[in-house]
A = this chain, B = another copy of it.
Amino acid sequence: MPTKTFFNLKEDKRKRVETALIHEFGKGSFEQASITNIVNEAKIPRGSFYQYFVDKEDAVTYLIHKFILLEHQKIYEALIEKNGDIFETALRIYDYRTKDTILNFDIGLARNILEELRRNNINIFENKDILKKEESLTKYINKDSLKINSEEDLYYFIRILTAIVRSVTVEVFSERISKEEGRKMLEKELEIIKKGIEK
C-alpha cells in the first residue's frame, strides 16, 4: 500500500499521479510499465514516486485494490437488480466489463487487472485480503432454483462461474473474439452449467 505521504498529497497532484498510473499500467503488462513514463506524465521527480510507493508492485497493488472495491460494488448492484439470479448477474457483469470504459478505469487497465486477478486466483465475490468479512456477496444470491445443499456447494459453484466469466472477458479484451461473440459463448457455457452435461 502507498505511504501516508501519498494520501496526504493535495488533490491535484494525487490525481495527476493516479492518472499517470492508469495510463501506464493500462498500456502493456505490469512488468512493461515504466516508472520513468509515470513520473514524466505526472510531472513529479523520480524520487517522489518512491516517496509515495515502495516500488512498482506497490503502485499496482493500489490500483488493483481500488478496482476490486469498485467491482464488488458493481456486482452487488447487479445482484440486487436481478433479484439474486446469479446467471443473469454473470451476464450483467460481462456486459459492463466489456463496455468501453469500466468505472474510472481505462479498458486496457481493466484487462491487465483481470489477468492479474486470474493469475492469482483472486475471487471478487469474497476476497479476504481486501474486503471485510461481512461484505461477502453470496448472501444476496437466490438459492431457491439452485441444487445447492451447503455453503461448500455454493462456493464451488461460484468458483466455476467466476472462472468462466473471466475467461471470456479476457478473450474479448485480447481481441481474439468480439464483444458479441463473447456474449454468445458465455450464454452457451452458462447453459451447460445450468443443465449439466451428463445424459
Query: Which A residues lie at the B interface, using CB under 8 A?
Result: 29, 31-32, 115, 118-121, 144-148, 152-153, 156-157, 159-160, 163-164, 167, 170-171, 174, 176, 185, 188-189, 192-199
Is the CB–CB distance between A193 and B195 below 8 Å? no
Bound Cα distance A44, B199 (Å): 58
- Interface majority SS on A: helix, strand, loop or mixed? helix
Q: Nearest Cβ in chain B — how far from A122, in angstroms?
A: 10
Is the CB–CB distance between A198 and B146 below 8 Å? yes
Indicate which residue in B29, B119, B171, B199 contacts A147 across the interface (CB closer than 8 Å): B199
Given contacts A185-B156, A189-B159, A193-B160, contact A167 B198 (CB under 8 A): no
11 more CB-based (< 8 A) A-B contacts, given A156-B188, A156-B192, A193-B197: A29-B31, A118-B119, A145-B198, A147-B196, A147-B197, A148-B197, A152-B188, A157-B192, A160-B160, A160-B193, A193-B193
Is the CB–CB distance between A164 and B160 below 8 Å? yes
Contacts of A118 in B (CB 8 A): 118-119
Is the CB–CB distance between B189 and A147 below 8 Å? no
A-B contact pairs, 24 of them (CB 8 A): A118-B118, A119-B119, A120-B174, A121-B170, A121-B171, A144-B199, A145-B198, A146-B197, A146-B199, A147-B195, A152-B188, A156-B192, A157-B192, A157-B197, A159-B185, A160-B164, A160-B193, A163-B163, A163-B164, A163-B167, A193-B193, A194-B197, A195-B196, A195-B198
